[in-house]
Structure 1
Amino acid sequence: MSHVKNNETYVSGAAVIEKGAAPYSQYAPDMHVSVGCIPCTRAHLSAVSAALKEGDAETAREEISALMEYDLTPEKLAATPEKDREVLSKYAKAISSLQKKLAEPVPELTAIAASLKEAIRFARVDGIEHPEVQMRLERSEELVNGLERIRFAPENIQSLEPKMRAEIKLVLPEIREARHQLLNGITTPDDLEHAGARFALISRRINVNPDPETLQIAQKEAAELNSSFRRDVLQAWGGKSYESTRQ
């Protein structure tokens, strides 16, 4: 993001921030709520690559879900300064393609786990009432309510193929209990941690790894994306580190 300093203010992407003002988030002091985020994308991509190297597709899915849901949205990309937008738009398409390769039967569960895990990181530093925590809680509640009351309504469960129908019926009581905890029992970061772990475990029961060949292809693709993203950011900023442009 372009930074222009003067005596009182500096420009960060689309926003003017008062010099010395407290960051929006202590956990993520470089983030801005209205534009795409280079450091966020780099962190998520790195985690995706690391997870797939360990053969852990579900963690990779969570990282991609959080990135696409909260950082690389069309609205944020449209508001991002051109230099960053060119890089981020390129990788949004590539990451979306990788997400399709790792497609799981119940992406809502992955998205809930991803949202809650990210909410935990904000809550530990910024507090449970921080807007980034509340936004992710609201989205998680929306997803789990839609999952239980719409997608897994009795008439829809009956239309599933027998194996998936049996698996869903087994986890429905757990989803129901986890939903009650999420809607009624979140008052501290520890509560968030318990809810996030609960949904992540449920998701792993349903959203297993893809076949070995697909996993290997995704692993290679993620590693290449992680490396090329770093190179493209350096090139976009004339060979300087991204952090050096923010000083």
Structure 2
Amino acid sequence: MLARTLLRASVRAPLAVTGIPAARFFSFKAEDQPRIRIGSTAPNFVADTTHGKIDFHEYIGDNWTVLFSHPKDYTPVCTTELGAFAKLKPEFSKRGVKLIALSVDDVASHKDWINDIEEVSSEGAKFDYPIIADESKEVAFKYDMLTEADFNNIDAGIVFTVRSVFIIDPNKKVRLIITYPASTGRNSAEILRVIDALQLADKKGIATPIDWTEGQDVIIPPTVSDADAAKKFGDFKKVKPYLRFTKA
């Protein structure tokens, strides 16, 4: 019985996870599902990509990273998204952000799909960030990228990952999670906006209000006294004792 179980493991789990034998993932049990929250350390993995094999934490290095998933190659909404990210890659690079996508098909399929993406949705931009091949669905499992129905059928054949976005900082901490339904395209400008807000918050010790964009006033956290706020930020506008605005 054990031999048959391990044999099934070797077939379904070709992806190695750093420091853990591949056979560990012969079963995708609900009780083993990692809980990814804001502040969690992004799970590490080793996987094949369109840029060769990567160790995810090594890929992040000292950079911010956006990891975003797709249900399958040649899906229409995702084709538009991958092209948009390719076009905006210089903006991400300017902010010290790496991009990496994921889909459950193999590398050869990804590379063929990239030809379509460059043709129809990147507006001439070269597609030059990696797509992870997650045929075993282990990365999808580790990052909780499955719908409820697909999670319950993860061992039963075709399983579509949900369309998730993770912003990960240089300390490998998850700073934002967004999950989209299959019918709704992502907002690439929002992801850039959040990165600007997170990086400014880390640098200046501030928070950002609703719909904030770069250059607008920011919020002084309630943990900072008025006296300390004046020393740190200079002039500020006090709307309520707990709501104070200042220039970034």
Bin of the TM-score, shorter chain as denominator length: under 0.3
Higher-RCO chain (CA-CA 8 Å, sequence separation at least 6): 1
TM-score calculated relative to the size of structure 2 = 0.27
The structure number with the bigger radius of gyration is 2
TM-score calculated relative to the size of structure 1 = 0.27
The structure with the largest helix share of the pair is 1
